[in-house]
Amino acid sequence: MLKITNFKKSYNKDIVLQIDNLTIESGINWVRGANGSGKSTFLKSAAGIIGFDGDLLLGSAVSIKEQPVSYRKLVNFAEAEPVFPEFLTGTDLIRLFMKAKSAPVKQADYFIETMKMESYVGDPVGSFSSGMHKKLSLLLAFIGNPQLILLDEPLITMDSESLETLYVWITDYHLKLGTDFLLSSHQAFDKSLLPGIKALMVADHTLKYV
């Protein structure tokens, strides 16, 4: 699903993460690790948000370095603590993402309804609570037809009912559309709701399956 070659990310000459050669398998993958271990750094790198040395190949074919536009079209990302322009409404952001991802006109309706966002999605995001921000960020990550969805700490600020809905979204996209997932969290996922989830660990400045 994602081939990593000679990956290295440093801050102020201090190596945060170095992965010489690793292929992340297709499916639902859980990136584990302590706070500050480099989970978010890796997901932001894989999303094309921050730069790094080396290369990532999606499906062993699309390179983030050689085909950055094509790569980003196929990869969606949700921040751990999303921040949006306060004057825009949730609807504004959904329309923006739908245009950027060439999404079907009514695609977002299902996500708005099942996450119970109807009452506030048309309001400016400056009025949103942290939970509302999180739900909007997660919704945007499912817009379009991504091959890979990256969710950074998707469990935080979410109530139990909303988490069950998110599990359904993930399972449906993977089983029905073949979408792959990288989920980073220091909390455990409910394996009964995400059967077949595989775990990777970020530790000692590298990433590997455990």
User: Which tens digit of pLDDT belongs to each residue from 54-103?
Assistant: 999 998 789 999 999 999 999 999 999 999 999 999 999 999 999 999 99
Statement: residue 167 has pLDDT above 80: yes
Query: Is 58 part of any domain?
Result: no
Q: How confident is the model at residue 135 (pLDDT cuts 50, 70, 90)?
A: very high
Angle between helices 160-172 and 107-114 (to 10 degrees): 150
Query: Is 121 part of any domain?
Result: yes
Query: Is 10 part of any domain?
Result: no
CB 164 within 8 A of CB 193: yes
Sheet strands (E) in 99-209: 148-152, 180-184, 198-203, 206-209
Query: Is 61 part of any domain?
Result: no
Query: Is 147 part of any domain?
Result: yes
Query: Is 75 part of any domain?
Result: yes
Domain that holds residue 109: 26-49+71-209
CATH number of domain containing 42: 3.40.50.300
pLDDT of residue 34: 86
Q: pTM to 2 decimals? A: 0.95
Statement: residue 187 has pLDDT above 90: no
Q: Which of 26-40, 119-133, 137-151 shows the lowest mean pLDDT across its residues?
A: 26-40
Q: How many domains in the chain? A: 1
Query: Is 7 part of any domain?
Result: no
Q: Which of 9-13, 71-75, 168-172, 176-180 shows the lowest mean pLDDT across its residues?
A: 9-13
Report the percentage of the chain scoring pLDDT > 90: 89
Query: Is 177 part of any domain?
Result: yes
- Rounded to 10 degrees, the C-alpha dihedral 141/143/149/155 comes to 40
